[in-house]
Structure 1
Amino acid sequence: MREDKMIKALIFDVDETLVYYESYDGKEWFEKWAKREIKNLEANVDFETYKKMVKGKLPRSWVENLGVDHVEFWKAIDRAKLKYRKWAAEQGLIKAFLDVDVLKTFKEMGLKMAAVSNASQDCTEFVLNLFGLKRYFDVVLGKDYKYLDGAKPNPYLIKKSLKALEVSPKEALVVGDSLSDILAAHGAGAKAVQVMRFGKIEGADYYVENLNELVQLVRSLIDKDL
């Protein structure tokens, strides 16, 4: 076995991979929650423009064209997201997937784990704490206000988590539900596992239906390297 190929760490996306939001509609959230915060900045950003920034079609700094500090803009967005999450939690609308209990299994296997999200640090920790999941992770990373364009699909956050876990890209698997997770993993030199919660997305190295299948996959890869 080559030591640098052994799977030692798992890097998980959070939203739609570990937890989900019942009855969530992005445009409805924007109109009801985000616009209040944006209005306080005296800015006028519509949903389509916001979505382009989130998807990386426009840089997150684009709002500077409106005379708005882009860091303050995204902090305002994240305040709206945290308020929404707290409200949704009270309504019982945030759910953990039933298979998240396998995180305990990975911990018992001696694997290092990180949770990496494009949501803010506060939002990410809030939902993990809501279901008692934060204790399983050695590292939790939300978006970095010092480099807002480093959100996935940019590999920045994945590279940052690899460094914090002290593992090489070949020693980790990035586990997520979206194309952004796959692209971020490959950009960092790591392999991507897509959890097909909502259908298959081309480009991942491995596919699993759920996290129980992920346990089987990880064990098979470790056995292969032994």
Structure 2
Amino acid sequence: MIKGLIFDVDETLVYYEGYNGRDWFKNWGEKEIKKLGIEINFETYRKMVKGELPRSWVEKLGVNHVEFWKAIDKAKLKYRKWAAERGLIKAFPDIGTLKEFKQLGLKLAAVSNASQECTEFVLELFNIKDQFNVIFGKDYRYLDGAKPNPYLINKALKALNTLPTEALVVGDSLSDILAAQKAGVQVVQVMRFGRIEGADYYVEDLNELLQLVLRINR
């Protein structure tokens, strides 16, 4: 019986038209990093984001890693506000389905590697923040707890008072799949941008997810 759904946010519920990670780093992130008195290239930054290097790696350069990631998230929020003003942040057309999950009595969580502020900003932008019982962004107390670490998934399960066997993780990426597997939760990949192997279920959109949940709970 499925009682809770744990949603990824970026590329699952919303997307960023024309976004390119390397361009973002060059035009937004690098400026904030240089204010800390250090320089990092994009590949090193990408490895920290992907978990190939620990997020504390920057302390090798003499910078507190929490302050580093707060600077990154400051740049991310600036970008989101800039993109929102230009209509470049889009919601997938099926996000209205969230209301139907709530009407079924399911508990919903939103879990993102983005900061709490960035996550809530985009959810508020499309008036869907209130659909979620809990929202968890990056935890500065444990920055290496970002997906694919299961930390945020486990945090959501506890907050929803839901067992791993009573939940589904819904995401678009390999990080979502790995985090769910490590938490012992079945995972649904929403194939917004193609199929990634390893998920328990695959759906084209949230309407198909609704039918999946109804079928499991029947």
The two structures share one fold, judged by TM-score above 0.5: yes
Alpha-carbon deviation of 1:197? 0.5
Alpha-carbon deviation of 1:123? 0.1
Task: Identify the residue that residue 131 of structure 1 maps to in structure 2.
Answer: 126
Alpha-carbon deviation of 1:17? 0.1
Alpha-carbon deviation of 1:176? 0.1
Q: Deviations over 1:61-85 (max 9, x none)?
A: 0000000100000000000000000
Counterparts of 2:50 and 2:43, CA distance in 1: 10
Q: 1:23 aligns with which of 1, 18, 26?
A: 18
Q: Structure 1: where are the runs of 5+ without partners?
A: 1-5
Q: Deviations over 1:117-170 (max 9, x none)?
A: 000000000000000010100000000000000000000000000000000000
Counterparts of 2:177 and 2:30, CA distance in 1: 31
Q: 1:149 aligns with which of 144, 148, 161?
A: 144
What percentage of aligned pairs have identical amino acids?
Answer: 73
Counterparts of 1:100 and 1:162, CA distance in 2: 22
Counterparts of 2:143 and 2:215, CA distance in 1: 37
1:62 is aligned to 2:67: no
Alpha-carbon deviation of 1:220? 0.2
1:111 is aligned to 2:106: yes
Q: Deviations over 1:159-193 (max 9, x none)?
A: 00000000000000000000000000011110000
1:91 is aligned to 2:86: yes
Task: Identify the residue that residue 3 of structure 1 maps to in structure 2.
Answer: none
Task: Identify the residue that residue 199 of structure 1 maps to in structure 2.
Answer: 194
How many residues are aligned here? 218
Runs of 4+ in structure 1 off by over 3 angstroms are none
Counterparts of 2:21 and 2:162, CA distance in 1: 35
Q: Deviations over 1:37-64 (max 9, x none)?
A: 1011001111000000000100000000
Counterparts of 1:85 and 1:133, CA distance in 2: 17
Q: Structure 2: where are the runs of 5+ without partners?
A: none
- TM-score norm. by structure 1 comes to 0.96
Alpha-carbon deviation of 1:36? 1.0
Counterparts of 2:163 and 2:37, CA distance in 1: 44
Counterparts of 2:30 and 2:106, CA distance in 1: 41
- Partner SS for 2:199: coil
Q: 1:173 aligns with which of 168, 175, 182?
A: 168
Task: Identify the residue that residue 40 of structure 2 maps to in structure 1.
Answer: 45
Counterparts of 1:201 and 1:133, CA distance in 2: 27
- Partner SS for 1:98: coil
Alpha-carbon deviation of 1:213? 0.2
* CA root-mean-square deviation: 0.4
Q: Deviations over 1:195-220 (max 9, x none)?
A: 00011000000000111100000000
- TM-score norm. by structure 2 comes to 1.00
